Amino acid sequence: MQRQLIFKIVAIFILILLLLIPINMVNSLVYERMSLRNDVVSEIANSYSKSQQIKGPVLIIPYSKLSYNTEDKKYYQRKGTLYFLPEQLNMTGYLTVEKRSRGIYEARVYNSKNKMTGSFDIPKDYGVKENLEDYQFGQPFLAIGISDTRGIGNQSTVIFDNKTLSIKPGTAGSKLGSGIHAQVTLTDAKLSGNFPFEIQFDLKGTSTFNLMPVGKETSVTIDSNWPHPSFSGSFLPISHDIKNEGFTATWQTNLFASDIENKFKDCLTNKQCYSLENTNFQVGLVEPVDHYSKTNRAIKYGILFIGLTFFGFFIFEVVRKLAIHPIQYSFVGMSLAIFFLLLLSLSEYIGFALAYLCSAIACISIISFYITGILENKKQAIIFTCLLSLIYLMLYVLLNAEEYSLMMGSILVFMILSTAMIATRRLDWYQVTTQNPLTKYTKQSKETHHE
């Protein structure tokens, strides 16, 4: 193989590696813009209401117990609380999702209308079986923990044992954190038994909706107008229906699956609340693949993108016996690198699909105009332009494939390699190397100068 051809191949590989520098700079810019976007979303959440987690309802009964100290032979009053979880908890909620903008960035916020129904089974004497005479029970109250109380709406009602209760802020010093509570009146004639409840409240939040399944049997159904939910948490929905108009999801669990009573006791007695906090149903309101993720994915295919274009150039150079200078390769490579910068900047304003179309048209147009002068043959330039357009089209399809991107990328590489092998299967590479296009180009230049 002649030195000129070896030099050309080495120069192309070095040029591809050098072009990774501006591509990585654009990739760093993507992460910088993503970080800025996340900061703006946090600011919107701080102004509106953050992601919400609902804990409860829980029936809480404060008490004081008279205890005798054998050391100093005195009696002391020890205070504590009894917690009762719902025997049955059913919840339905509808999340109306909308977007709030600040500059060019958006955050997904929601307003949920929620209804809880169920019942509490209160044992006789609140379950105290020994030394009942030493106990003095305080006013029972129903508490619901809500992570960001700024999101609580005005239209909230609590009905317990068919009586409407007055709602107060906070959870009255319980372990549920911030939220609301309502004092419960239990008559002497009914200190035990089954007590039904119904709670309705509106709640605003951002990005995610989270519920702790405190019932011994819990069933939750969430409807929303958002078509891109992300289900996570300790339990996935037993059923869900996702359409363009929104989604419906249903969760169910029981005491054996959630072990919620033991986790509650560990949190109260041993202060080990990590497992309790992470027992939840959760749905996130996400974009399936936003323009930053798609741009980042496109950049990951950047070396393949540039390599395929240079490979096409090289094939044209060899088959058509042309002489394309490395500087001409570099101009084409830089235009391909700038494509990713255009894609990032335009997608923030006009969306990924339209930004991709505009960036692709701009880069294909300038490359086509440039290679027309290089190839000095409009027909060949049109063929190369069509091939380049096909590469852009296949890359776009690849970027929009969420679960099948790896498989489609592998098939794409295989198809391109197969096409190249088929197109050059009759090419005599020994003849190509002995009749190097660079040598031909030099001879033609000398003949033209001589004439």
Compare 441 and 325 and report the one with higher pLDDT.
325
**Is pLDDT at 449 greater than 60 in this prediction?**
no
Counted residue by residue, the chain has a size of: 451
Distance of alpha carbon 96 from alpha carbon 223, whole angstroms = 9
Evaluate whether 146 touches 112 at the Cβ level (below 8 Å).
no
Residue 219 confidence class, pLDDT cut points 50, 70, 90? very high
> How much is the average pLDDT of 60-80?
79
Structure-model confidence comparison of residues 60 and 404, the more confident one = 60
The pLDDT value given to residue 113: 93
- Looking at residue 224, its pLDDT comes to 93
User: Exposure pattern of 4-31 as b/e (b: 16+ CB <10 Å)?
Assistant: ebeebeeebeebbeebeebbeebbebbe
pLDDT level of residue 251 (50, 70, 90 thresholds)? very high
- Stretch 209-222: mean pLDDT, rounded? 91
Give which of 233, 216, 193, 225 is closest to 86, Cα–Cα.
Answer: 216
The predicted pLDDT at position 275 comes to: 77
For residue 112, the cross-strand partners are: 95, 203
Helix (H, G, I), strand (E, B), or coil: what is residue 401?
A: coil
More confident residue, 330 or 2: 330
Give percent above pLDDT 70 in the chain: 86
Helix and strand numbers (H, E) in the chain are 12, 17
- pLDDT above 90 (res 28): no
Tell me the pLDDT tens digit for each residue of 81-125: 888 899 999 999 999 998 887 777 778 889 999 999 999 988 888
Specify the CATH number of the domain 50-285.
Answer: 2.60.40
**pTM exceeding the 0.95 threshold for the entire prediction:** no
Per the prediction, the chain carries an average pLDDT of 81
Q: For 67-76, 239-248, 326-335, which range has the lowest pLDDT when averaged over its residues?
A: 67-76
Model confidence at 176: pLDDT above 90: no
Q: Look at residue 451 in the predicted model and tell me its pLDDT.
A: 46
Q: How confident is the model at residue 288 (pLDDT cuts 50, 70, 90)?
A: low
- In angstroms, the CA 344 to CA 298 distance is 10
- Outline which parts of the chain fall under CATH 2.60.40: 50-285
The whole-number pLDDT of residue 440 equals 45
Is the pLDDT confidence value at 444 over 60? Answer: no
Q: How far apart are the first and last CA of the chain?
A: 31
- The reported pLDDT for the residue numbered 441 is 43
- Reduced to 3 states (helix: H, G, I; strand: E, B; else coil), residue 98 is strand
- pLDDT-derived band at 4 (thresholds 50, 70, 90) equals low
Cβ-count burial of 110 within 10 angstroms (0-12 exposed, 13-18 middle, 19+ buried)? buried
- Whether 443 shows a pLDDT value over 60: the answer reads no
- Going by the DSSP 8-state scheme, the letter that residue 18 receives in this structure is H
Closest CA to 170 of 159, 161, 157, 183: 183
Q: Which of 54-58, 246-250, 264-268, 339-343 has the lowest mean pLDDT?
A: 264-268
For the stretch 113-171, pLDDT in tens is 999 999 998 888 888 877 777 888 888 899 998 988 888 888 889 999 888 888 888 88
**Residue 429 pLDDT > 70:** no
pLDDT at 305 over 80: no
